Amino acid sequence: MKRSELELLIHKAETKLQEQQLLLQDLYKRLEALTDQERERENYISSKEIIDLIEKKVGKKINMSTIKRWADEGFLGEVVEEKDKFWALQSKQGKKRFLYPKVDTYRFLHEEKGYLLPEYEVLDRVLVTQSEKEPLIGMVIDSHLHQDEFHYIIQIEGSFETLQDVKEKNLQLIQGVDD
C-alpha cells in the first residue's frame, strides 16, 4: 500500500470518528433531555390516570367529561398538553392528551371530592420499612396528604415513641389474628 493511500484511509477514518463523536454527543444530550422529562412527567397525571385512581381508591367510575369539567373550572391546576411539554417522551398516537399537576389534582380529589383516601386507617397495625432503619411495627395515629402522597404518624408498638411523616409507600398492613 502506498503512502498516499494510507494517508487517505487515515483521513477518512478520522473524519468518520469525528462524525461519530458528534453523534455520540447529540445522543447524550437527547438522553439527558429524556431523563429530565421522565422525571418531570412524574409530577403530572393524565385524565385516564385520574379515572383509574378514583376507581382504584373508592370504586367509583367517572368519565372524561367530568375530568374536563373539573379542568375547565380550574380545580385540577394548570392544564398542559403532553406532546408540547414532554416532546422527548414517546407518547400515544391520536387525540391530544392533557396532563394536570399531581399536587393540585390530588388536593382537589382528597379535600373537595373525598375520592382520594389514605390506604391505611387510624389504628391500623403496620410494618414500617424505611430504607435507613430496621423495620418496625406500629399503629397509625394520623395521616395527611402532603404534595402528591399520604404521610402518616406512626406510634411504635411497645412504646410511646412516634414516627412523623412516614410515606405511604413505606408501610405494609399487618394482618392480625382478630382481623
pLDDT category, 179, cuts 50, 70, 90? very low
Which residues have C-beta within 8 Å of that of residue 76, sequence separation ≥ 6?
A: 50, 67, 70, 100, 101, 104, 105, 108
Contact call for residues 171 and 119 (beta carbons, < 8 A): yes
Average pLDDT value for residue range 145-160: 90
Which position has the higher pLDDT, 115 or 179? Answer: 115
* Cα–Cα separations (whole angstroms), residue 173 to 112, 145, 179: 27, 19, 11
The string of pLDDT tens digits covering residues 33-49 is 899 999 999 999 999 99
Cell numbers standing for residue 34? 429524556
Separation between Cα atoms, residue 82 and residue 132, nearest integer Å: 36
CA angle 85, 88, 93 (to 5 degrees): 80
Contact call for residues 166 and 155 (beta carbons, < 8 A): no
Contact call for residues 116 and 62 (beta carbons, < 8 A): no
Closest to 112 measured CA to CA, from 80, 76, 147, 151: 76
The string of pLDDT tens digits covering residues 67-122 is 999 999 999 999 998 888 887 777 665 567 889 999 999 999 999 999 988 989 89
